[in-house]
Chains A and B, each alone.
Chain A
Amino acid sequence: MQKMNEAQLKELEQDLDAIRNDVLADLGERDAKYIRKVVRLHRTLEVGGRVLMPFGFIPPVFAAATLALGLSKIIENMEIGHNVMHGQYDWMNDPSLNSQTYEWDTVCTSDSWRRTHNYEHHTYTNIIGKDRDYGYAVLRLSDDVKWHPGHFLQFINYILLTVLFQWGVGVHELESERIRRREISLKSKLPFLRDFFRKGGRQAFKDYVFFPLLTFPVAPIVLAGNIGANLIRNLWSSTVIFCGHFTQDAETFTEEECVGESKGHWYLRQLTGSSNFTGGNWVHLLSGHLSYQIEHHVFPDIPAHRYREMSPRVQAVCEKHGIRYNTDTFARQYWTVLKRIGRFSLPDRVRRRFEAQPA
């Protein structure tokens, strides 16, 4: 990683804090209106999708209802749930938008998410061995992990992970790889498992039992539509998240590098470990502004719709300190993710020979 001395890191910290403080001081009506508008859009899409779904025996209605419900889940998970749980709207003091009590529309419990994502992933970002979001203990994405023949199949794992993403995220805190290595006992995870089954059951009951049965004669149509909506959300959210940290140039770190690190070093790690992608307004909305993953990692508790206007200032700070600001189109960033998954499925010897060739 970029080497900077403590004085430079201190300056970086001050530069980024200045951006942060300016936005914090400006939070108000505009931000409240924005998130309430998004919540209203979510309710409209969800209610609309659910009401239309039973009429899905008309093919265009089926497509519209499935899309509406899928979009509603995407918006709820990405722009509302994820951001609210980061505490981005705690300052509004609205109990419905409170980071500690918000429960989102996905299998993963909010409590588990706040532990594994808000705390572990955002504090130990891209530190191999500490940030379990790096490859989700399923994918090998850097040579810090020793290769074994099982990795040949990791592209299949990737497809499974992205299709079943909400279940993967839900079961993430089980740390099954550590249980297999006997570092922790299954028994210590019983409270987690109880919560996982309760929330997973609740989500499955809602989409796969209750709403289909409620509309009994057309139950198969409603079931298919609900599965489709969940699939749309799974594919999109996993893709957005993968583009945030697994792109070609997103850096990884060792535990030794980060022992007793300063706030400036934490900032540097967030800047170099994350990557952005560009797109239209709807791309930013549907990604929960994780299209500005760098800004999100530097300022995780600032309302995400502000990242767009903070981005030029963050880029200027990066330029000043000679730090690479990793951004590109969505398609190109995603392509580098796929290449990374493919490359690291190969033994190091083969991969190096492959990398030596000009692309």
Chain B
Amino acid sequence: MNFDFSDDQKMLRDQAHKFLSEKCTTKTVRKVFTSGDGYDKDLWKQIADMGWLGTAIPEEFGGLGLGYLELCVIAEELGRALAPVPFSSTVYLFAEAILAAGTDEQKKKYLPKIASGELIGTFARAEGAGAVTPKSIRTTFKGGKLSGKKIAVVDGMDADFAVVLARSSDDAGERGTALAIVDLKGSGVKRKAEDSIDPSRKHAAIEFDGASAEALGKAGEGWSIAANVLNRAAIMTAFEQVGGSDSCLAMAKDYAMQRYAFGRLIASYQAIKHKLADMYVNTELARSNAYYGAWALSTNARELPLAAAAARVSATQAFDYASKENIQTHGGIGFTWEADCHFYYKRSRELGLSLGPQRTWKEKLVSELEASNA
């Protein structure tokens, strides 16, 4: 039984932790919250210089060629620090889509630029409120041209390229969908910033009016490739969520160990102790599910879809609980703009929705269980 990260991977986690605790404090997050910038450009450059963007990109395409376990430990630290950078959209989504379905030529074209930090990418799926289903996709990709409108695209204003889930035929089901790579600075693309629930992760609406785009993977396979990419991204995001939950627990504990009420530390009241104990329990369950996801990711296991859904649901629940109860533990001060608590509360919801809500992932999870128990 060796269900843990290696010493080298733990060392990488410690380095990432040290770096981010110096370079990405909540002041960094606050700056992005209140500025018009979509992300912290200095931090992004330093992250690129350290090679993190190419952690799982093979060396032949300019990456470090390490692997997914290494990427997961970095993700945990990015989540702990609430790093306001387009890491997840570029690395977990755009790069993963290219790695999953790109031609050799596409890999050569995009991956080295991702690894070096020259290219920000994202993945555009939703077109309106409600579930993203094959039927809900109205954006068309036909004859190399993309037309339609996507909403709530994470890092949509800052991204150079996007992978877009579109309709390639009249088939209303999965087989009618395709993925397209589009240059967001090209003609026929209009973008508009949208107000995000988490201002440290900005969103955009993007309109395509016959924009030139290239196919990623085969027409008819868009939905299945996207599902696979989302599964993989869900596992890495789960590590960010676990890191965020840890931060909330640490903050709540620190505050409870300083604050007096009714003549004693609030940390000595069972109402607070039990709340923090529950945060700990949920976070450890989520961490263990995320570890299993990391194993599935690193070995490309048959169990990956189930592991991804479990990691996703567990981590979303843990971060939601920890971030809301962190505010509650702080009391009134926790609800002020000046306190940092709301950064976590907002990031928790943003991460919990951006790859699809819990409801969607629970449905995937039970479908996987049905298939495996059949």
Q: Report whether chain A binds chain B.
A: no
* A contact residues vs B (CB 8 Å cutoff): none
* B contact residues vs A (CB 8 Å cutoff): none
